[in-house]
Chains A and B, each alone.
Chain A
Amino acid sequence: MSMEDYDFLFKIVLIGNAGVGKTCLVRRFTQGLFPPGQGATIGVDFMIKTVEINGEKVKLQIWDTAGQERFRSITQSYYRSANALILTYDITCEESFRCLPEWLREIEQYASNKVITVLVGNKIDLAEKREVSKQRAEEFSEAQNMYYLETSAKESDNVEKLFLDLACRLISEARQNTLVNNVASPLPGEGKSISYLTCCNFN
């Protein structure tokens, strides 16, 4: 429970169609691995990586879909307390790009309105099979006010950058929010604090 371990803790959530490489991105970043097969993540809820940015320790808690995207059955609660969302598609798969609006709808519906969304086109190592041009993706992400990045989990291209840039943005957002929060009206967690030690029980 030691708050001393880090200066910031952020919850990052990955979404996107099955097979676009979400788990690979997470494992590449957190463990430096490129897993050849799937299924290695049974029992793992999220992965943790602590990074240092400008001398500050930032703990990233990165959540994967647990396969629920396979039949479009992601639970709403998955989105709830995310600070950032990484919306991933596969540049070699048109279908995964065409599904993005549906994913955005879910975000709009269930995620916090302060969430930062990054659009990621993965698998740029398979350039010869590309189906979605960079320009189209850029236009789309611009229209949706999202950051955009192309990555290769396999070649480790832009993976560090993706998470580190995100961490930077989250830090600056967090700073701004703490300023805003002083004036803002009720948010979850506000209200009088209850000391759990002072027991109001009858014994």
Chain B
Amino acid sequence: MADNLPSEFDVVVIGTGLPESIIASACSRSGQRVLHVDSRSYYGGNWASFSFSGLLSWIKENQEKTDVREDGEDWRKLILKTEEAISLNKQDNTIQHVEDVCYACQDLAEDVKEAGALPKLPAFEASDTREAAQESEKESLPVQSQSLGTENCEISPESVTCNDPESMTERKDAEMTSERENLCDAASDQSALETGKTENVSTAEAAALKPKKITYTQIVKEGRRFNIDLISKLLYSQGLLIDLLTKSNVSRYAEFKNVTRILAFQEGRVEQVPCSRADVFNSKQLTMVEKRMLMKFLTFCLDYEQHPEEYQDYKERKFSEYLKTQKLTSNLQHFILHSISMVSEADSGTIDGLKATKHFLQCLGRYGNTPFLFPLYGQGEIPQCFCRMCAVFGGIYCLRHSVQCLVVDKESGRCKALIDHFGQRISANYFVVEDSYLSEKTCTNVCYRQISRAVLITDQSVLKTDSDQQISILTVPPVERGQPAVRIIELCSSTMTCMRNTYLVHFTCSSTKTAKEDLEPVVQKLFSLNAETERESENGGGLEKPRVLWAVYFNMRDSSGIDRNSYDTLPSNVYVCSGPDCALGNDYAVKQAETLFQEMFPKEEFCPPPPNPEDIIYDGDGTQPEDPGFSSSSNAKTEPSPEESSDGDSCKVSEEHHEE
């Protein structure tokens, strides 16, 4: 689509991660003309979520970043004598040590293609050839070979054909499972073409014969059911992000589910941590005495500031030491330290611990009986929601749009424009750039930390219960001193991040080594890596570990907490956003976005509620909308609180507001 991009804006935002997207939306909301670009073909940068095939191509891209083709420096000619250029990165260097391992049955994997992945059509010419190549690669993965036409839909000016009798059945995912199991087990030498045929086989017998066993083929076929987050986070139900989402009405674009369980790992066992009052009283694992101790301590934490005498002497000591002085069993100390406060045993002080515990407790009960929410379809939805808001207020969006350089006016020292990959010069007053776009030269003096990540697809929950639809968070404390604690978030299929009968398990810690070295020992404690072995006979059932079907490990650069001055020579109207940090919540990103926005526009309100679509009066010569509404945006303030949701634990922040 050869549409021309305007060449003048107020604000240009480069990168579509969470802080950039919030800033874009805030700027657009306050009336600025915003251009928001990303060189990638997807939203979110390191905050993105991918379908399974999308993740595979992301993996491939990051494993094979070899030839950074220098496209020449033609754009240098476009720089005037009175100007200087700050060139930007052509390639993302924030991901390292990517390693994926498949443990599931892989027989048919080579010929399988994710349902619904259409071939690239000539009608959509990509803007430059390199990207076109990348994109078609993305779409055709994981198949290197062609798909034999099973799923192709073609359309040409002369004839409209669809050689896809199966595509409609694909959508009825529910019934397909048993058929596919049958396939993988029975038909290791069949081609994908035959796959189509065999799918008509009666399902009844197959289902009766085989227990559920997910194969790699199924994972690939059901690939679009997955929304795999690159960064694993949750929303504190009393936190800056939730506040911002509800205040700005951006929450209407997303749906959330409550995390259902807080877990702990002690002496080789996973157990549930009681944290609400009701949980504590109903707990079967705690003795009466323990219940009383825990309640007493937690009640104290809620207003610990009022009782400084209780912890005065431990202010300078570690929280773990302080807990030892309280009337708490070691079991309870473990719960409080690792699962409730989630602070580091080795280096968190008493005040930090008390503060974290208090925050946890305050978040309880707002939406449910744990403090956390998870966005359906993954964390990657959140930046997109802010982008939608920006677009609604006129922001212009361009993915697959890279920027060659920023242009600085020598005399004023301010950045006045950028030059994009077409050589178009786009001018603006403010430039917001995500850290990974800054060149090595700009970042010479910057010191980055790393985050170790693992994502597993597994066949069972780490703690089985009656319901197979649990969302759990578990912190595994370090075995050795100096090691980081590992945070684990297990997602079930109703979070819309993985296919039925699987779980998506996210591991996160701050890196000491490569992700695999940091995390694999913990993975092995909780999971069986040998998916091929048949299960032990039923009697041993309860104790066996869930099996890993597929896993990926990688390190991600943590660019949070970097002093602006450590970037080399950036003009004052260029603002830098960080990539995701290692923390569980999103406060860092929200705070950063608000701070930068206030620096740019000190007099503007940050993301005020938009007018309610139902209250808008349209000017012009036409008729009025059906409901006589209110014209001003200020009285359209409708703070939707997810409490109003009534459908179970899916907190759809309601779109429906009053029509007085």
Asked if A177 is at the interface (CB within 8 A of a chain B CB), the reply is no
Q: How many residues of B contact A (CB 8 A)?
A: 101
- Partner of B622 from A33, A72, A78, A105 at Cβ < 8 Å: A33
Asked if A124 is at the interface (CB within 8 A of a chain B CB), the reply is no
A113 and B172 contact, Cβ closer than 8 Å, known pairs A61-B655, A75-B384: yes
A33 and B613 contact, Cβ closer than 8 Å, known pairs A66-B391, A202-B299: no
- In the complex, which residues 28-52 of chain A have their Cβ closer than 8 Å to any Cβ of chain B? 30-33, 35, 40, 42-50
Contact B613–A44 (Cβ < 8 Å) = yes
Contact B469–A104 (Cβ < 8 Å) = no
**Residues of A contacting B623 in the complex (Cβ-Cβ under 8 angstroms):** 31-33
- In the complex, which residues 118-155 of chain A have their Cβ closer than 8 Å to any Cβ of chain B? 136, 139-140, 143-145
Contact A42–B393 (Cβ < 8 Å) = yes
Contact B648–A67 (Cβ < 8 Å) = no
Question: How far apart are the CA atoms of A10 and B376 in the complex, in Å?
Answer: 19
**Closest-CB distance, B302 to chain A (whole angstroms):** 5
Asked if B610 is at the interface (CB within 8 A of a chain A CB), the reply is yes
Contact B368–A194 (Cβ < 8 Å) = yes
Contact B278–A200 (Cβ < 8 Å) = yes
Asked if B427 is at the interface (CB within 8 A of a chain A CB), the reply is no
Contact A45–B399 (Cβ < 8 Å) = no
Contact A45–B392 (Cβ < 8 Å) = yes
Contact A43–B625 (Cβ < 8 Å) = no
Asked if A1 is at the interface (CB within 8 A of a chain B CB), the reply is yes
**Residues of A contacting B658 in the complex (Cβ-Cβ under 8 angstroms):** 1-2
Contact A193–B123 (Cβ < 8 Å) = no
Question: How far apart are the CA atoms of A73 and B5 in the complex, in Å?
Answer: 13
Asked if A18 is at the interface (CB within 8 A of a chain B CB), the reply is yes
Question: How far apart are the CA atoms of A113 and B176 in the complex, in Å?
Answer: 14
**Residues of A contacting B314 in the complex (Cβ-Cβ under 8 angstroms):** none
What residue of chain B has the Cβ atom nearest to residue A114's Cβ?
B171
- In the complex, which residues 614-660 of chain B have their Cβ closer than 8 Å to any Cβ of chain A? 614, 616, 618, 620, 622-627, 643-650, 652, 654-659
Asked if B493 is at the interface (CB within 8 A of a chain A CB), the reply is yes
Stretch at the interface among A156-164, A168-176, A183-191: A183-191
Asked if B593 is at the interface (CB within 8 A of a chain A CB), the reply is no
Question: How far apart are the CA atoms of A187 and B117 in the complex, in Å?
Answer: 24
Q: How many residues of A contact B (CB 8 A)?
A: 70
Asked if B367 is at the interface (CB within 8 A of a chain A CB), the reply is yes
What residue of chain A has the Cβ atom nearest to residue B468's Cβ?
A186
Contact A102–B388 (Cβ < 8 Å) = no
- Partner of A71 from B278, B368, B398 at Cβ < 8 Å: B398
Asked if B364 is at the interface (CB within 8 A of a chain A CB), the reply is yes
Contact A50–B626 (Cβ < 8 Å) = yes
Which residue of A66, A100, A144, A187 has the most chain B CB atoms within 10 A of its CB atom?
A66
A188 and B626 contact, Cβ closer than 8 Å, known pairs A105-B117, A200-B364, A203-B302: no
B-to-A contact residues, CB < 8 Å:
1, 3, 5, 43, 51, 115-118, 121, 123-124, 153-155, 157, 160-162, 168, 171-174, 224, 252-255, 257-258, 276-279, 295, 298-299, 302, 361-362, 364-369, 376-377, 380-381, 384-385, 387-388, 391-394, 396-401, 467-469, 492-494, 496, 500, 610-611, 613-614, 616, 618, 620, 622-627, 643-650, 652, 654-659
7 A-B residue contacts at CB 8 Å?
A71-B396, A75-B43, A76-B43, A77-B254, A190-B650, A194-B369, A199-B365
A-to-B contact residues, CB < 8 Å:
1-2, 5, 9, 17-18, 30-33, 35, 40, 42-50, 61, 66-68, 70-73, 75-78, 80-81, 94-95, 98-102, 104-105, 108-109, 113, 136, 139-140, 143-145, 184-194, 196, 199-203
